[in-house]
Chain A
Amino acid sequence: ILNVEQSPQSLHVQEGDSTNFTCSFPSSNFYALHWYRWETAKSPEALFVMTLNGDEKKKGRISATLNTKEGYSYLYIKGSQPEDSATYLCASIGLTNAGKSTFGDGTTLTVKP
């Protein structure tokens, strides 16, 4: 994988459903993976910084895992709420390209009440 790819592109779930989406990134030259949440009419905000293979981070109902050997990260949301509706972006940072982040196109989550 040369670019950062996110799937699915969009997701519609009912309130209370649990959901997950994927970020695939180049496994060579890996330094870190960042997850961001971007709500409508707001700026993107960081959710997680992931650096080590096997990392698992959690913030409330949202958690993320990291597999650097195969180049993917999962974001999980347990018991989705309408306020979770947003676009979730992942960004891969390489070892050799300074602070440059390569972003995926995002997964847009809509949670219906």
Chain B
Amino acid sequence: DGGITQSPKYLFRKEGQNVTLSCEQNLNHDAMYWYRQDPGQGLRLIYYSQIVNDFQKGDIAEGYSVSREKKESFPLTVTSAQKNPTAFYLCASSIAKNIQYFGAGTRLSVL
């Protein structure tokens, strides 16, 4: 089936630790996105990538890093510099400015 796969579903981070969230798509989409959702709030853009080997910061990029070495994959690393990482993270992909297709999300908590 075509779609977006995020893993893991739940993730726990220790203080000072970097963790990486996986996002893979087999929709052949050029554009991919990472969003963060906090309770009672909407989706805020962390990073997005329009093409392989290129990505741009979104509205809340501080404390996060990404790579886009393959069209299918857009992993997000939550670094130790992100002081409030507890949130729900959604990955999405699209063809240019068309509708986005979302994964099931990863819930990150701090131990």
A residues engaging B (CB < 8 A)? 6, 31-32, 34, 36, 42-46, 49, 89, 91, 93, 98-106
Contacts and interface: CB of A to CB of B under 8 A. Distances in A.
Where chain A touches its partner, the secondary structure class is: strand
Nearest to B98: A49
B41 A43 contact: no
Contacts of A93: 97
Nearest to B43: A103
Given A44-B100, A98-B48, A99-B48, 14 more contacts: A6-B42, A31-B97, A32-B97, A34-B99, A43-B90, A43-B104, A44-B102, A46-B100, A49-B98, A49-B99, A99-B33, A99-B96, A100-B58, A105-B42
Interface string B40-84: 111111001010000010100000000000000000000000000
Contacts of B108: none
A37 B104 CA distance: 14
Nearest to A102: B45
A49 B103 CA distance: 19
A103 B94 CA distance: 15
Nearest to B32: A99
Q: Which 4 A-B pairs have the closest CB atoms?
A: A105-B42, A46-B99, A43-B102, A103-B43
A44 B105 CA distance: 10
A43 B50 contact: no
Contacts of A34: 99-100
A18 B9 CA distance: 36
A46 B101 CA distance: 8
A62 to B, nearest CB: 15
